[in-house]
Each structure stands twice: as C-alpha cells, then as structure tokens.
C-alpha cells in the first residue's frame, strides 16, 4: 500500500469518527425545550390554565407530563399551549419533554390552584334565632365550577329547602339546637364549614310604627308607603287592614307591599306569618303627615299631634303626661279638697286624652319633654296676628280651625278659691274656657302672661295673673325638626 492510499484511508477514518461525533453534538444542542412561565395561585373556571410552551422545531415531538400532583390532566399532551386541568389547593410540577430520535430534553414549570374556602355568611347573634324557628342560610356562592350543598349535622325535625343553593331556607322546631354544614366540592376536593344555633318560638314582625310619614307637601292627595315586615325563611305571609278608612294594601302577600292611605289618618295593619302549622301575627301603626305631624313621648308612649306655624312646631293636643299626679298635675274633677263648678270629672280615657291634664307652674316650666318648651307670649301673639288678630283669630285657633292648633276648652283648676267659704280648690270652665301657660311667668311670684280663650267672647288674647293659684293647660312648642 503506497503512502497516498494510506493517507486517504486515514482521512476517511477520521472523517467517519469525528464527523459522526459532531453530528450528535449538534443534534443535542438543537433540542432546547421551553415550557414557558409558571402559573401560581390560579383561580379560573374549571380550574384550568392554558400553558405557554415554545413550539418544537421540525422533526421534534413535545409531550406534557405531570411530574408531581394528583388528578391533573391535559387537553392535548402534544400541544405546547394545551389546556391543563387541575384541582383546587394542589400544586403541580409539569414537564415539557422534547424528543428527536432517541435524544430528549425536558423543562419544568409549576402550576398551583387556590384552595376551596367555604364561607358561611349568615350571622346569628349569640347563636340564637330570636323569635324564629327558621332562618335563611347564606354562604359565599361557589365559583369556578365548584359545587356547594347544605347538610343538617345535628338536630331533630329540621329541613333545608334548596340544599344545593348558596342561599337556602332552614326550617326547624322551636327551642331546638341545630348544627348545619356548608360543603364545597370540586373533583376529589371536599371542604366544609359549620354553623351552630338554637331556634326560638316564631314571632311575626310587621315593622316599627310610623306615625309621622312625610311624603310631600300636598296634604290633600293620597300618600304611599312601602311596608317593612319580615318574612321568615320558608314562611308565607299576609297583610290585613284592621283600622283606618281608605287604606289600600297593594300586595297582601308581600312583606314590602306598597300601602296607600289618606293624610292625618291613623291606620293599623296586621301581618300574619305561617310556617307549617305554626302561626304568628304582629301589628303596625301608620300615619301620613298632612296638616299634622305626630310626636310620641317615649316616657309613656302617648301620641301628640303637632302643626307647623311660623317656623315652630306646636302641639295640637293638650299635654297629658302624668307629672306627679295630684300634686303637680290633675285630671279635671280629681283633686284633694276640690269641687266641680262646671262639667264633669274625666273618667273616660278618651276624654282624658282630649282634654289633657292641668299643670302647676313648676311642673310645666321645669319638666317639659326633651326638645320641647313652653311658648313665649310673643310667639302666641304672632300666631294670633297671623290669623287676623284678637278679634278674628278664634275661628282659626279652635277645633276644626284653619291653624290646626285645635284649641278646645278643658277648663282649669283654681287653688284655694275665695268663692268657696272653705277656700277649697274648684274645677271651673269645662267646655267654656281654656288657660294656656306661657314661659313669660315669673317663677318666684307666679305672675305672668296666660293665653285665654272663652266660648262667651269672640276675641282671644292674654291675661296677666298669678299662676300659683291655678292649674292650667299646657301646649309645648319646639324648633322645626
């Protein structure tokens, strides 16, 4: 063999050896898998993410695999942007493997989904259903394909309506303890939260009394109000108009029905609720402001009409609070060592409300209800002037008059009256005269101005007198609210 042939043989051998090695090195370098970004704490519909691996080169194959994590699946294991489905609360390690021939390389990403977190929103104060045997169970609604359900864990005789709804109705037996559970599930993941409570007896609630509903300034038109009853879970309800003319309930079975009525008319409505064989009823009073508003004395729950005149709110009913009865206030006809000169003693509650009590100066001046006070003589005089002056105002001030003050004739009590030989107290002037106390009275001497209105004379006005010797009517005023 000559040298040239030997050289060619060596060159061919070297080419075969080194050429093959270089080819394998080149192929390994070209396999560059890129699985894309990780996805952490994902919340999505169906607990799914769309993966973002880099597409493989020609002649290569990519494959998704779950390295760590249970119950994960791919829509297409060879699609670099395949959808991946997992379960809440699981962290997955996913491999994107790229192969060419018998060579392969891999890249790794992390996909994690947030946990299921059941949340019961129903709040039961002190764990007791006060005045009820049922309740609305409310939980945060399931999301992203999870399912929810209610279960009674403890307690007898209870039931749940719409158990698979996040808002369900629980109905139990009175005075019984229960434990309920709200469960969320997705795939193999199941988590729950519990709620304990005790039922009470069923008690209907028709809403709070509304005796001064202000709607508009026109007192001649019909008035409207949305009723505020409560309908217990699983119950049926019905309204009934008990008292008051021209009232109309638009939807008898709705707790928030619209109600229509006349101004200055007091209505009483009944709201009845039924759960199975258990029935309860409650009443509510309603009154629309027309000419008069209504104020309720919290000390004894008595109602007083008031009317707005000259920027002040004036009581349109005689004051009737029992301030130290027999010593500082009296009903007509009832007093120690007292005679009745006119009329009759007030035995009937309706008459007592209409005429009110007669008050001693000290009680009227120093113990008015909160926010109210005696009117000044000037304020009363301004009212008289507003309605025509002393000779003409009487028609407007009396019951049924334009002013709305509704001044009547309750009479008064004269202390140690000199017309009686024994100087006894005398009740005078019932249905004849009214004496209304003002704040313009000297508390030390008792001398001051008193508003006077009498059936026998047309004019109205003031008298200067010693009020220490008389029990008189009180009409308080207050600033416009």
Chain segment 287-335, per-residue pLDDT in tens? 999 999 999 999 999 999 999 999 999 999 999 999 999 999 999 999 9
Beta-sheet strand order (sheet of 48-50): 48-50, 83-85, 73-74
Q: What is the pLDDT of residue 221?
A: 76
- Which residue's structure tokens are 């004036």? 314
Q: What percent of the chain has pLDDT over 70?
A: 93
Q: What is the pLDDT of residue 13?
A: 37
- Which residue's structure tokens are 């009547």? 408
Judge contact between 120 and 182, C-beta under 8 A: yes
Beta-sheet strand order (sheet of 470-471): 338-340, 425-428, 412-414, 470-471
Contacts (Cβ under 8 Å, ≥6 apart) of 320: 302, 352, 353, 356, 357
- Asked whether the predicted pLDDT for residue 4 surpasses 80, the reply is no
Contacts (Cβ under 8 Å, ≥6 apart) of 238: 252, 253, 271, 272
CA dist., res. 393 & res. 354, Å (int):
22
CA dist., res. 323 & res. 365, Å (int):
12
Bridge-based pairing of strands 278-288 and 210-213 is parallel
Contacts (Cβ under 8 Å, ≥6 apart) of 123: none
Q: What is the pLDDT of residue 2?
A: 44
Q: What percent of the chain has pLDDT over 90?
A: 89
**Is residue 481 very low, low, confident or very high in pLDDT (cuts 50, 70, 90)?**
confident
Contacts (Cβ under 8 Å, ≥6 apart) of 274: 235, 236, 237
| Mean model confidence pLDDT for the chain | 92
CA dist., res. 285 & res. 270, Å (int):
9
Contacts (Cβ under 8 Å, ≥6 apart) of 97: 33, 62, 63, 64, 65, 104, 105, 106
**Is residue 218 very low, low, confident or very high in pLDDT (cuts 50, 70, 90)?**
low
pLDDT tens-digit readout, 398-452:
999 999 999 999 999 999 999 999 999 999 999 999 999 999 999 999 999 999 9
- Asked whether the predicted pLDDT for residue 5 surpasses 90, the reply is no
Q: What is the pLDDT of residue 473?
A: 98
- Asked whether the predicted pLDDT for residue 18 surpasses 50, the reply is no
Q: What is the pLDDT of residue 127?
A: 86
pLDDT tens-digit readout, 374-402:
999 999 999 999 999 999 999 999 999 99
- Asked whether the predicted pLDDT for residue 3 surpasses 90, the reply is no
Q: What is the pLDDT of residue 374?
A: 98
Q: What is the pLDDT of residue 217?
A: 56
CA dist., res. 458 & res. 477, Å (int):
25
Specify the 3-state DSSP secondary structure of 15: helix
Prediction pTM value: 0.74
Q: What is the pLDDT of residue 249?
A: 98
**Is residue 146 very low, low, confident or very high in pLDDT (cuts 50, 70, 90)?**
very high
pLDDT tens-digit readout, 183-217:
999 999 999 999 999 999 999 999 999 999 998 75
Contacts (Cβ under 8 Å, ≥6 apart) of 442: 448
pLDDT tens-digit readout, 407-419:
999 999 999 999 9
Judge contact between 211 and 296, C-beta under 8 A: yes
Cα three-residue angle 90-94-100, rounded to 5 degrees: 165
Judge contact between 222 and 261, C-beta under 8 A: yes
CA dist., res. 132 & res. 188, Å (int):
37
Which residue from 79, 78, 80, 89 is spatially nearest to 47, judged by alpha carbons?
Answer: 89
């Amino acid at each position: 063999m000559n040298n040239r042939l030997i050289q060619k043989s060596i060159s061919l051998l070297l080419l075969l050896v080194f050429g093959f090695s270089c080819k394998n090195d080149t192929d390994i370098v070209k396999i560059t898998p890129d699985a894309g970004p990780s996805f952490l704490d994902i919340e999505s519909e169906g607990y799914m993410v769309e993966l973002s691996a880099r597409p493989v080169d020609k002649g290569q194959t990519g494959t998704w695999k779950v390295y760590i994590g249970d119950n994960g699946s791919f829509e297409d294991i060879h699609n670099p942007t395949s959808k991946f489905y997992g379960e809440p609360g699981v962290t997955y390690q996913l491999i994107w493997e790229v192969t060419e021939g018998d060579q392969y390389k891999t890249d790794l990403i992390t996909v994690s989904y947030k946990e299921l977190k059941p949340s019961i929103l129903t709040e039961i104060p002190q764990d007791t259903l006060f005045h009820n045997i049922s309740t609305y169970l409310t939980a945060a609604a399931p999301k992203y394909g999870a399912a929810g359900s209610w279960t009674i864990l403890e307690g007898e005789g209870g039931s749940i309506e719409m158990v698979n709804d996040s808002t369900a109705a629980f109905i139990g037996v009175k005075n019984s303890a229960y434990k309920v559970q709200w469960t969320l599930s997705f795939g193999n993941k199941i988590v729950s939260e519990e709620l304990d409570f005790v039922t009470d007896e069923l008690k209907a609630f028709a809403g709070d009394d509304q005796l001064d509903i202000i709607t508009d300034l026109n007192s001649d038109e019909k008035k409207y109000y949305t009723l505020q009853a409560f309908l217990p879970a699983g119950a049926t309800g019905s309204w009934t108009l008990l008292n008051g003319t021209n009232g109309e309930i638009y939807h008898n079975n709705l707790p928030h029905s619209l109600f229509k009525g006349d101004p200055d008319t007091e209505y009483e409505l009944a709201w009845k609720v039924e759960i199975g064989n258990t029935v309860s009823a409650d009443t509510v009073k309603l009154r629309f402001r027309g000419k008069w508003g209504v104020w309720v004395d919290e000390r004894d729950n008595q109602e007083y009409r008031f009317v707005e005149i000259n920027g002040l709110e004036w009581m349109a009913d005689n004051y009737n609070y029992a301030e130290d009865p027999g010593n500082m206030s009296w009903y007509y006809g009832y007093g120690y060592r007292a005679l009745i000169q006119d009329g009759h003693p007030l035995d009937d509650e309706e008459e007592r409300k209409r005429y009110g009590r007669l008050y001693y100066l000290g009680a009227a001046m120093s113990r008015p209800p909160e926010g109210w006070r005696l009117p000044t003589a000037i304020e009363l005089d301004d009212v008289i002037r507003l309605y025509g002056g002393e000779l003409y105002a009487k028609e407007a001030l009396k019951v049924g008059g334009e002013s709305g003050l509704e001044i009547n004739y309750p009479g008064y009590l004269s202390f140690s009256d000199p017309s009686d030989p024994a100087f006894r107290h005398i009740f005078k002037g019932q249905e004849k005269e009214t004496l209304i106390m003002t704040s313009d009275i000297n508390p030390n001497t008792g001398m001051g101005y008193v508003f006077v209105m009498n059936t026998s004379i047309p004019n109205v006005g003031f008298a200067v007198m010693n009020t220490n010797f008389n029990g008189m009517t009180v009409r308080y005023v207050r600033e416009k609210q």
